[in-house]
Amino acid sequence: MSVQLTMPRLSDTMESGTIIRWNVKEGDSVASGDVVADVETDKATMEMPVYDDGVISKIMVEAGRQVPVGTPIAVISVEGDADKPLAAAPAKPTTSPEVITSTAGEPRAVPAVSSPPSVANDGDSPRLRISPLARRMADEMGVPIALIRGSGPGGRVVRNDVLAAAERMKTGGIAPLAPGSALAPRTPSATLPLAVMAIGEGSREVALSGMRQSIARRLVESKSTIPHYQVSMKFNMDPLLELRAMLNEQLEPQGVKLSVNDFVIRACAIAMRAHPFFNASFAGDRVMLHGDVNIGVAISLPAERGGGLVVGVVHHAELKGLREIAATTRALAEKARGRGLGPEEMGGATFTVSNLGMFGVDNFTAIINPPNSAILACGAAVEQPVVRNHQLVVGHEMAATLSLDHRVIDGAMAAEYLKSLKQHIENPATLLV
């Protein structure tokens, strides 16, 4: 018998996934638990294991293609059945050959292209993915979308694909479509938008990965639905930096290294116990106060993984000491930048910390990570002239800014939380007990 692999739902919000890389090829033997592919979801790149022993008989979705959850992507033949012929997959519907009039006035047949049922008043298949820029260029240049082969992720049509199709039409003697033609997907606009007109030599288009598209949607959702406001405060970092240096020196033989962010996470967690509305979510006609303190940590991803960021979660942060927090955050960062975090490692955050101080940023504001009600943006501990005990001295200060959901937390509550946070950070011995 044969077992069909389908695109799995690897997160609660996942609707489609992209096969980034197949780790097997047709004819390879696999065992239950083997990771056969890396799949990009709307949140991260994750490993896809199999749960049957057998042979990969057929790979149905090539790497780089995005398909909906539940789409068949491969077939496994169980041992002793690998040589049996597989049932033919249902043939995809194809369109009839279309005819475009050449410059000589003679009809030229265009090979039929496979496509799902068409959508009324739209010139391309509903599965065709094309960037807005590429679509506008195709409209303006009279290039029928049916002639364009996408080279972007998941077969997405990008700017260079339109230019290549236009060149093929030119060398093949095919005239561009006139506005209003039955094959023209849209009526070309009278003038190109300013963004298109500004494109020059050397410009290029970079398609968004599924994860970056998800990030974009969530950020727009957050800013458009949550009434953000910000409250900032500066902290004297000298006591914390001194304690950190001493602890790291003592813990070095054990391979432990504490970061400033580990202290900040611990301080946030303790302060949240005293201020429960910072561990809460807006729920329409009520506020949900969470029992567990789960702090999300923003992790930047390298360019080779598509860039962007993910949020790894330190669960039960109020119960963890500095050493355990350091081990957890390091493991989350390494896994996120390697094979990717799993749903359980990215889910359940009730508060988020974003720290750009390690990159030399002095201060910034962050966008709330729904369904959280707050996010803390931390800058660098900057050495500068400061006033201590009525004396001008050189010291380290860190600026931190809370972005808050005004439906849950008002300004006075924010000030009280920052006051508690300041107390713990400037008296770091309180974080050791």
The residues that are catalytic are 406
Residue 409 three-state SS: coil
> How many residues are there in the chain?
433
Q: Which residues pair with 58 in a beta bridge?
A: 75
| CB contact at 8 A, 95 and 112 | yes
**Token pair in block for residue 322:** 């500095």
CA dihedral 106, 107, 109, 115 (to 10 degrees): 150
b/e string for 146-166 if b means 16 or more Cβ within 10 A? Answer: bbbebebbbbbbbbebbbebb
For residue 365, give Cα distances in angstroms to 39, 221, 329, 356: 32, 17, 22, 10
Per-residue DSSP letters for 274-300? Answer: H-GGGGEEE-SSSEEE-SS--EEEEEE
422, containing H or E segment: helix 411-426
Name which of 321, 320, 301, 324 is nearest 311 in CA terms: 301
**Token pair in block for residue 428:** 């770091």
Residue 78 three-state SS: coil
| CB contact at 8 A, 296 and 313 | yes
